[in-house]
């Protein structure tokens, strides 16, 4: 492994890309400690500690604790992710966006520009919500004293906070685009992953403290660690899992040349939508309590809805699983079109052995995709509710797993595959001489 890492720095282009990526990720982490003016960080941290969990806790995990510290990157890259998801949904229902998607590079540039506009708009709206939320917290008890979260509340604070958070989001979006273009890996995914991984040391320190205080049984901790290893292996297997549909291309004679005749396959992933269904489900199921926390206070209906949808309740988890499975099918249908795939295969003389080209091929692919999406969606749901189930059953503050684990494993595998392709293209041994990373080239 040491020799493989040395090979990365022997290739000038790959070395520049890796160092450039690391430098921009360091800039992102440094900016995650620059506070927004006018906020009492100690009082805000005390509020987060007393109100752990919920959508704010999930959002804070994605931005690496920047929301809890009220920094200029408190919104992180999430407005851009939300805008990208909205644009993808619009391509399925709005003909204009569907035409743009089929126009090649020019269409993708326009979609990227619309995504940027949507990012700025969402960041401005979310910045307003955060400003209203911070002003509404009032005084928070910390270290035996009542301290106000906002030093000088008012219109000036709200405008300054909205502009600061929006500018921070735009800068993070630019960092992600630069990493994707000039670095290694997907910039937006790496920024989210770095924010998640940055919180792992704090989780580990808290767990060690509880072990030393004997709040957690050592035997129980060993069981949890073994379960973590099993979960990581399962996530890797499902992330890499594919159902391969064989495809045969007919021979064509053009002049004196023979084209086609080769065999290939269509790789259908078990987890086609990735972590998107979990993000959709968490946002939807926690929308009432989040909306109430941001904009409405002392509302009996919203308070009752929040108590009814308690994360430790059976109804919450059943509803959560159902929504994740639904969005797994919904998002897969949006990003994967069996009809277009079958038409393209027919156009170039490709066919699935034993299946007639055209409509029958599209129906065959759709049937297989429907079957493999169900176990993928159920697996996502199981991973998503695993931390809460462990907390209820074992009383261990299990902060490892769920959405964060899926994102971390997926992004790590994708980045390793890109590095692997650079190494092999220049006749170096990759990270793995055998296995799926090497076999997927």
pLDDT in tens, 277-322: 877 777 677 666 555 555 555 566 666 666 666 666 677 778 888 9
What is the structure's pLDDT at 114?
A: 92
Beta bridge partners of 351: 248
For the domain covering 220-441, report its CATH number. Answer: 1.10.3370.10
Indicate whether 14 pLDDT > 60. yes
* Helix (H) or strand (E) run with residue 426 in it: none
Q: Largest alpha-carbon pair distance within the chain?
A: 89
Q: How far apart are CA 378 and CA 381, in angstroms?
A: 5
Q: Which residue has the higher pLDDT, 92 or 310?
A: 92
Most confident of 88-92, 333-337, 369-373: 369-373
Q: Which segments of 138-154 does DSSP mark as H helices, in order? A: none
pLDDT digits (tens, 9 = 90+) for 118-173: 999 989 988 888 888 777 776 665 555 666 677 778 888 889 989 999 999 999 99
What is the structure's pLDDT at 299?
A: 61
Q: Terminus-to-terminus CA distance in the chain, angstroms? A: 20
Q: How far is CA 14 from the centre of its chain?
A: 25
Predicted confidence band at 441 (pLDDT cuts at 50, 70, 90)? very low
Among 10, 12, 21, CA closest to 415 = 21
- Domain map (residue ranges) of the chain: 14-199, 220-441
66 in Cβ contact with 199 (< 8 Å): no
Indicate whether 367 pLDDT > 50. yes
Q: Which residue has the higher pLDDT, 440 or 387?
A: 387
Q: What is the mean pLDDT of residues 195-224?
A: 79
Phi, psi of 102 (to 5 degrees): -95, 0
Q: How far apart are CA 428 and CA 36, in angstroms?
A: 47
Among 402, 400, 413, 407, CA closest to 226 = 400
Does 3.60.20.10 match the CATH number of domain 14-199? Answer: no
What is the structure's pLDDT at 355?
A: 87
Using left for φ > 0, alpha for ψ between -120 and 50, and beta otherwise, residue 184 falls in beta
Indicate whether 250 pLDDT > 70. yes
Among 173, 174, 150, 172, CA closest to 160 = 150
Q: How far apart are CA 133 and CA 432, in angstroms?
A: 49
Q: Which residue has the higher pLDDT, 100 or 260?
A: 100
Q: Evaluate whether 14-199 and 220-441 have a shared fold.
A: yes
Query: Model pTM?
Result: 0.77
């Amino acid at each position: 492994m040491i020799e493989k890492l040395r090979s990365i720095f022997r290739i000038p282009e790959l070395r520049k890309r890796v160092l450039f990526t690391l430098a921009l990720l360091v800039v992102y982490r440094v900016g995650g400690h620059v506070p927004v003016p006018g906020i009492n960080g100690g009082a805000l941290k005390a509020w987060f500690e007393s109100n752990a969990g919920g959508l704010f806790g999930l959002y804070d995990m994605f931005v690496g604790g920047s929301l809890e510290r009220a920094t200029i990157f408190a919104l992180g890259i999430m407005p851009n992710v939300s805008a990208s998801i909205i644009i993808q949904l619009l391509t399925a229902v709005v003909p204009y966006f569907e035409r743009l998607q089929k126009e090649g590079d020019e269409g993708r540039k326009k979609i990227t520009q619309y995504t940027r506009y949507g990012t700025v708009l969402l960041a401005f709206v979310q910045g307003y919500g955060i400003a209203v939320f911070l002003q509404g917290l009032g005084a928070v008890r910390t270290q035996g004293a009542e301290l106000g979260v906002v030093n000088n509340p008012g219109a000036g604070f709200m405008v300054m906070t909205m502009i600061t958070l929006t500018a921070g989001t735009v800068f993070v979006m630019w960092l992600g685009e630069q990493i994707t273009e000039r670095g290694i890996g997907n910039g937006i995914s790496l920024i989210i992953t770095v924010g998640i991984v940055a919180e792992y040391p704090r989780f580990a320190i808290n767990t060690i403290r509880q072990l030393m205080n004997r709040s957690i049984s050592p035997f129980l901790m060993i069981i949890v660690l073994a379960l973590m290893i099993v979960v990581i292996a399962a996530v890797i297997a499902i992330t890499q899992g594919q159902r391969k549909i064989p495809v045969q291309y007919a021979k064509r004679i053009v002049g004196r040349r023979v084209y086609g005749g080769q065999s290939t396959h269509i790789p259908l992933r078990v987890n086609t939508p990735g972590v998107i269904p979990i993000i959709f489900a968490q946002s939807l199921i926690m929308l009432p309590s989040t909306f109430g926390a941001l904009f409405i206070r002392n509302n009996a209906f919203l308070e009752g809805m929040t108590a009814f949808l308690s994360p430790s309740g059976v109804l919450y988890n059943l509803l959560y699983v159902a929504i994740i499975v639904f969005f797994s099918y919904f998002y897969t249908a949006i990003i994967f079109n069996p009809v277009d795939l079958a038409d393209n295969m027919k156009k170039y003389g490709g066919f699935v052995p034993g299946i007639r080209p055209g409509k029958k091929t599209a129906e065959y692919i759709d049937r297989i995709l429907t079957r493999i999406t169900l176990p993928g969606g159920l697996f996502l749901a199981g991973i998503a509710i695993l931390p809460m189930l462990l907390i209820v059953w074992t009383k261990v503050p299990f902060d490892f797993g769920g959405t964060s684990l899926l994102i971390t494993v997926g992004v790590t595998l994708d980045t390793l595959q890109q590095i692997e392709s650079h190494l092999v293209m220049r006749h170096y041994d990759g990270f793995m001489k055998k296995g799926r990373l090497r076999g997927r080239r």
